[in-house]
């Protein structure tokens, strides 16, 4: 619930602005008061009348509107909220924020504020992938701005990829996580999840049976405690949770690069089932059975992401948590793995087929740390995730 929370909603000029109308409705349903601000460009997509009707409040539009300055200066407007939400955060708005420009009401409010800011980016996939946007994103995150989305999918411009604004309910979840003071509020956490796909040729790949369920549950539990979560996921069966920043990858190398881009973090949880090997030289053409006969695949080792991050001299997260999927001598193997990789904790589980854990809804884990092995009862993957998130919160607080 968001009762008595005050949200200043800055609506940028993008087609996703229509979703912000629903966002206003969802926030008000939960008891929040929404003060809307429209950029000039946003008025091309939604009308001030519909925004103010849904918000039940005046819409602020112009920096030089003297009536507003007399009623409530822009400084005060920016500070009287519990949270400023920028949705859609266009490439232009993100650029202005990152550069510290104050050229219109929206950017001036964002410069004048000491209130936490949450952005929901929305733009064309090429604009999102552009180095300038990625640079701005990194800058904003370093400045403490929280980001929800964007998600991947068909876009209004006809292209496909990341750039779609998160759905209103996902933005609401991120707002709730930020405003309901959880013990991980202000902490930035990284979670890797899912399998990786290692290409053989453009249509074939090597994969594993990880569903991504445990990683998604951990990311959700951390976000529920107020953490900002960067969720780096391979092609998983389960959808990513709401309220986290999703980075979709396919291969181990891409996952490794995405992890590097997410650092620094306060803690990293490495739940992905990363392929240990890849095909040394994947073909860029489909291998033909008639012409090429049996393929002679040569393998090469993938980067061990957990090990590399655990052993970083500079920028090692204060807490690094790995997973170990074992089929025998679980404690012994996982204890050795913790030392070999250099991580702080290992959550070990028995994935021998008889347990039904791989791909199932439950997990039975043993937490290995420098104080020994702690056996948890067999629990649902969500409950395992909640226990782990609570332990992480304790460790980061202590």
Cβ contacts of 351 within 8 Å, gap of 6 or more: 325, 326, 327, 357, 358
* Residue 305 touches ligand CTP, criterion: CB under 6 A: yes
Q: Which is nearer to ligand CTP, 164 or 337 (CB)?
A: 337
Q: Which of 53, 132, 156, 157 is catalytic?
A: 157
Phi, psi (5° rounding) for residue 13? -90, 90
Of 324, 358, 385, 388, which lies in the binding site for ligand CTP, with binding defined by CB under 6 A? 324
Instruction: State the Cα–Cα distance between residues 71 and 103, nearest whole angstrom.
Output: 21
Instruction: State the Cα–Cα distance between residues 258 and 262, nearest whole angstrom.
Output: 6
Instruction: State the Cα–Cα distance between residues 174 and 170, nearest whole angstrom.
Output: 6
* Residue 292 touches ligand CTP, criterion: CB under 6 A: no
Shortest CB 141 distance to ligand CTP, Å: 22
Is 119 an annotated catalytic residue? no
Structure token pair of residue 127: 């604009």
Of 276, 292, 375, 394, which lies in the binding site for ligand CTP, with binding defined by CB under 6 A? 276
Largest CA-CA distance found in the chain, in angstroms, rounded: 80
Total number of residues that touch ligand CTP (CB under 6 A): 15
Of 98, 105, 155, 325, which lies in the binding site for ligand CTP, with binding defined by CB under 6 A? 325
Of 179, 306, 385, 393, which lies in the binding site for ligand CTP, with binding defined by CB under 6 A? 306
Which helix (H) or strand (E) element contains residue 111?
A: helix 105-112
Interactions with ligand CTP, residue window 141-200 (CB under 6 A): 192
Q: Which residues of 17-43 are buried (b: 16+ CB within 10 A; e: fewer)?
A: bbbbbebbebbbeeebbbbbbbbebbb
Interactions with ligand CTP, residue window 58-77 (CB under 6 A): none
Q: Is 139 left (phi over 0), alpha (psi -120 to 50) or beta?
A: alpha
Q: Which is nearer to ligand CTP, 163 or 322 (CB)?
A: 322
Which helix (H) or strand (E) element contains residue 97?
A: helix 91-99
Q: Which is nearer to ligand CTP, 241 or 322 (CB)?
A: 322
Shortest CB 390 distance to ligand CTP, Å: 20
Instruction: State the Cα–Cα distance between residues 363 and 351, nearest whole angstrom.
Output: 9
Q: How many CB atoms lie within 10 A of CB 203?
A: 8
Shortest CB 274 distance to ligand CTP, Å: 3
Shortest CB 245 distance to ligand CTP, Å: 19
CB-based burial label for 154 (10 Å; 0-12, 13-18, 19+): exposed
Q: Which is nearer to ligand CTP, 44 or 301 (CB)?
A: 301
Shortest CB 301 distance to ligand CTP, Å: 8
Q: Which is nearer to ligand CTP, 137 or 271 (CB)?
A: 271
Of 94, 96, 322, 344, which lies in the binding site for ligand CTP, with binding defined by CB under 6 A? 322
Q: Are 77 and 49 in contact (CB under 8 A)?
A: no
Interactions with ligand CTP, residue window 326-365 (CB under 6 A): 337
Q: Taking CB under 6 A as the rule, which mask of x and - marks residues 248-267 in contact with ligand CTP?
A: ----x---------------
Q: Which is nearer to ligand CTP, 215 or 226 (CB)?
A: 215
Structure token pair of residue 91: 């490439």
Shortest CB 98 distance to ligand CTP, Å: 31
Interacting span for ligand CTP (CB under 6 A) from 125-133, 137-145, 322-330, 374-382: 322-330
Considering Cα of 345, then 349, then 351, then 357, what sign does the dihedral take?
negative
Of 106, 274, 348, 367, which lies in the binding site for ligand CTP, with binding defined by CB under 6 A? 274
Cβ contacts of 217 within 8 Å, gap of 6 or more: 241, 381, 382, 384, 385
Residues that bind ligand CTP (CB under 6 A): 192, 252, 270, 272, 274, 276, 302, 304-306, 322-325, 337
Q: Which residues are catalytic?
A: 157
């Amino acid at each position: 619930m968001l009762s008595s929370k005050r949200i200043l909603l800055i609506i940028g000029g993008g087609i996703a602005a229509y979703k912000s109308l629903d966002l206003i409705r969802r926030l008000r349903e939960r008891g929040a008061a929404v003060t809307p601000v429209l950029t000039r460009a946003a008025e091309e997509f939604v009308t001030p009348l519909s925004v103010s009707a849904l918000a039940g409040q005046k819409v602020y539009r112009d920096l030089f509107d003297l009536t507003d300055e007399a009623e409530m200066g822009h400084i005060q407007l920016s500070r009287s909220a519990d949270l400023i939400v920028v949705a859609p955060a266009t490439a232009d708005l993100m650029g202005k924020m990152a550069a510290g420009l104050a050229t219109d009401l929206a950017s001036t409010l964002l410069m004048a504020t000491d209130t936490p800011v949450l952005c929901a980016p929305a733009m064309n996939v090429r604009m999102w992938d552009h180095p300038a946007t990625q640079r701005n994103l990194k800058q904003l995150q370093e400045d403490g701005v929280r980001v929800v989305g964007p998600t991947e999918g068909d876009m209004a411009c006809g292209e496909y990829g990341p750039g779609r604004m998160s759905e209103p309910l996902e933005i609401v979840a991120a707002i709730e996580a930020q405003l309901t003071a959880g013990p991980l509020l202000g902490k930035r956490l990284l979670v890797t999840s899912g399998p990786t796909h290692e290409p053989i040729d453009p249509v074939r790949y090597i994969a594993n049976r990880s569903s991504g369920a445990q990683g998604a549950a951990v990311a959700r539990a951390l976000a529920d405690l107020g953490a900002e979560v960067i969720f780096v996921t391979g092609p998983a069966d389960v959808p990513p949770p709401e309220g986290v920043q999703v980075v979709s990858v396919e291969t181990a190398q891409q996952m490794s690069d995405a992890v590097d881009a997410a650092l620094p973090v306060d803690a990293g949880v490495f739940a992905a089932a990363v392929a240990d090997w890849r095909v040394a030289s994947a073909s860029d053409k489909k291998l033909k059975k008639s012409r090429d006969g049996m393929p002679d695949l040569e393998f090469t080792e993938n980067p061990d992401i957990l090990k590399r991050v655990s052993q970083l001299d500079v920028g090692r997260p204060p807490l690094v948590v790995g997973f170990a999927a074992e089929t025998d001598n679980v404690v012994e193997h996982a204890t050795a793995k913790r030392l070999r990789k250099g991580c702080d904790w290992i959550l070990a589980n028995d994935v021998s087929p008889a347990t039904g854990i791989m791909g199932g809804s439950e997990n039975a884990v043993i937490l290995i740390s420098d104080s020994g092995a702690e056996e948890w009862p067999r629990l649902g993957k969500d409950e395992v995730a909640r226990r782990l998130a609570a332990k992480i919160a304790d460790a980061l607080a202590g």
